[in-house]
């Protein structure tokens, strides 16, 4: 078998859940496990998160909710975007799974498929401009939910930039959302579950914790943005994924020898190189070659030449041998490669780094 896999530290995830549990007091904690728990494995992560204090789970797809139910996980699950009308019967058949709704068509479709009194959550778009009801339509849609025989259990919105401390737009979103809540209350609608805060909002806006928070990337010990790296470190959040491989081949290239496709890197002196059986098909982005490195023998080893689909080449010294462990994310010895560090180098975010670690990389727990 290829000596490449991702170690998933479930104790780290449990620790991170407890950290957030301590931050939010009496608020419910929704652990977001969409996209296979950001590449960590939805079922094992959900079990550990619930055991550590999460009271809800959040997913993106109906199929993701079904996977959790089939695994015997029974806490409430929220599908974070409105399922299509043809999917609502499947939602209704999954006990305790709540759909998000924000259109008359979605409300009607779920009401036609679900039992009277089935709970839903109304999403209001306060400025993310992605999905959700217009704030001006909040009361009419809420009335439509109740009129259709459904239970308006929750109402929520999603922050666009709460991962930037002091960002003014987040405050504008809170104000607009509170206006919607006020409108609902004026007609006698006071849903028991109100939620605004994602990981960034949970860390930067205690006033937005309300009755529930939705924590995603923070569960995995990764900062939502570079600006929150220090805050996450101060809280003691622990990165839960370690991506590793091994040295499969060693050779030397002379001065002037190019490495990998396009010879984007050329040796200026005789250089010893190690090849690792992991590549961009496994989530190691091709562009990571430019400034990227790998840990071997507790030292940072620079990548030489572009990352290919199945292999990475790094510069090493005489102390490295075939079979030595190579770490692409996580710690080895005194060194550590953070998901956020890779993301920053690639001008992306930690979410993408985690989500693109391919399915052909086995997860070991």
Q: What is the C-alpha separation between 176 and 180, in angstroms, rounded?
A: 7
Residues 213 and 265 placed together within one structural domain of the fold: no
Residue identified by tokens 């479709």 is: 109
Per-residue confidence band for 166, with pLDDT thresholds at 50, 70 and 90: confident
34 is catalytic: yes
Which of 34, 102, 123, 220 is catalytic? The answer is 34
3 occurs within a structural domain: no
206-246: per-residue pLDDT in tens?
A: 999 999 999 999 999 999 999 999 999 999 999 999 999 99
| Contact (Cβ atoms closer than 8 angstroms) between residue 169 and residue 128 | no
- Give yes or no: residues 202 and 267 share one domain: no
Q: How many domains does the chain have?
A: 2
| C-alpha span between 130 and 145 (Å, rounded) | 22
Structure tokens at 171: 């405050």
Dihedral of CA 143/148/153/157: which sign? negative
The angle subtended at Cα 74 by Cα 21 and Cα 33, nearest 5°, is 55
Contact between residue 153 and residue 121 where contact means Cβ atoms under 8 Å apart: yes
How far apart (Å, rounded) are the C-alpha atoms in residues 240 and 236? 12
Closest by Cα among 238, 215, 197 to 339: 238
| pLDDT tens-digit readout, 86-97 | 999 999 999 999
For residue 154, give every residue at least 6 positions away whose Cβ sits within 8 Å of its Cβ, in sequence order, or none. 78, 98, 119, 120, 121, 122, 191, 192, 193, 194, 195, 212
Q: Is 286 within a domain?
A: yes
Give the whole-angstrom CA distance, residue 118 versus residue 111.
8
Q: Across residues 69-75, what is the average pLDDT?
A: 97
Residues 145 and 118 in one domain: yes
Single out the catalytic residue among 102, 220, 261, 299: 261
pLDDT surpassing 90 at residue 119 = yes
What six digits make up the tokens of 249?
Answer: 């081949």
Question: What range does the domain containing 80 cover?
Answer: 10-227
Instruction: Name the domain boundary from 227, 249, 264.
Output: 227
Q: What is the mean pLDDT of the chain?
A: 97
Is residue 24 in a domain? yes
Q: How confident is the model at residue 342 (pLDDT cuts 50, 70, 90)?
A: very high
* 132 assigned to some structural domain: yes
Q: Are 328 and 275 in contact, with CB atoms under 8 Å apart?
A: no
pLDDT, tens digit (0-9, with 9 covering 90-100), for 306-324: 999 999 999 999 999 999 9
Residue 233 belongs to a domain: no
Indicate whether 351 pLDDT > 90.
Answer: yes
Question: Do 199 and 105 belong together in one domain?
Answer: yes
In a domain, 50, yes or no: yes
What's 327's domain CATH number?
Answer: 2.40.37.10
My answer on whether 152 and 184 are in the same domain is: yes
Q: Are residues 47 and 138 in the same domain?
A: yes
Query: Do 223 and 245 lie in a common domain?
Result: no
Structure-token pair, residue 328: 């692409």
> Average of pLDDT values for 235-264?
98
Pair 98, 214 in one domain? yes
Q: Where are the beta strands (DSSP E) in 107-230?
A: 119-123, 151-156, 193-195, 212-215
User: Which pLDDT belongs to residue 217?
Assistant: 98
- Percent share of the chain, pLDDT over 70: 100
Known catalytic residue at 299: no
Distance CA 362, CA 7 (A): 9
Residue 28 pLDDT exceeds 90? yes
Domain boundary among 166, 200, 227: 227
- The CATH number of the domain holding residue 206 is 3.20.20.10
Same domain, residue pair 217 and 263: no
Where a domain ends, among 177, 194, 227?
227
Q: Is residue 143 part of a domain?
A: yes
- In a domain? residue 37: yes
CA 52 vs CA 10, 41, 195, 315: distances in Å: 10, 17, 20, 42
pTM check: above 0.85: yes
Tokens of 95: 């006990």
């Amino acid at each position: 078998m290829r000596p490449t896999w991702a170690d998933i530290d479930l104790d780290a995830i449990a620790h991170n859940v407890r950290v957030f549990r301590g931050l939010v007091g009496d608020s419910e904690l929704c652990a977001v496990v969409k996209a296979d728990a950001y590449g960590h494995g939805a079922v094992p992560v959900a079990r550990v998160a619930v055991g550590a204090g999460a009271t809800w789970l959040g997913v993106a797809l109906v199929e993701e909710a079904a996977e959790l139910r089939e695994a015997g996980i029974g806490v409430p699950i929220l599908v974070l975007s409105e399922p299509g009308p043809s999917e609502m019967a499947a939602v209704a058949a999954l006990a305790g799974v709540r759909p998000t709704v924000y259109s008359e068509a979605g409300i009607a479709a779920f009401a036609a498929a679900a039992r009277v009194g089935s709970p839903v959550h109304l999403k209001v778009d306060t400025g993310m401009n992605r999905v959700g009801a217009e704030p001006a339509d909040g009361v009419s849609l809420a009335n439509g939910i109740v009129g259709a025989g459904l239970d308006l259990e929750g109402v929520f919105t999603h922050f666009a930039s709460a991962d930037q401390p002091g960002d003014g737009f987040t405050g504008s979103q809170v104000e607009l959302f509170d206006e919607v809540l006020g409108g609902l209350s004026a007609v006698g609608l006071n849903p028991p579950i109100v939620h605004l805060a994602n990981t960034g909002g949970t860390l930067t806006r205690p006033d937005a914790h309300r009755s529930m928070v939705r924590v995603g990337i923070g569960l995995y010990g990764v900062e939502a943005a570079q600006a929150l790296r220090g805050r996450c470190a101060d809280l003691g959040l622990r990165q839960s994924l370690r991506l590793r491989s091994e040295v499969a081949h060693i050779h030397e290239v002379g001065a002037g020898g190019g490495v990998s496709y396009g010879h984007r890197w050329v040796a200026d002196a005789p250089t010893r190189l190690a090849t690792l059986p992991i590549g961009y098909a496994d989530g190691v982005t091709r562009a990571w070659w430019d400034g990227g490195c790998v840990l071997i023998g507790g030292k940072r080893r620079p990548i030489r030449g572009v990352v290919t689909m199945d292999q990475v080449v790094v510069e090493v010294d005489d102390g490295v041998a075939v079979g030595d462990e190579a770490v692409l994310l996580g710690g080895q010895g005194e060194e550590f490669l953070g998901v956020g560090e890779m993301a920053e180098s690639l001008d992306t975010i930690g979410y993408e780094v985690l989500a693109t670690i391919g399915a052909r990389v086995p997860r070991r727990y």
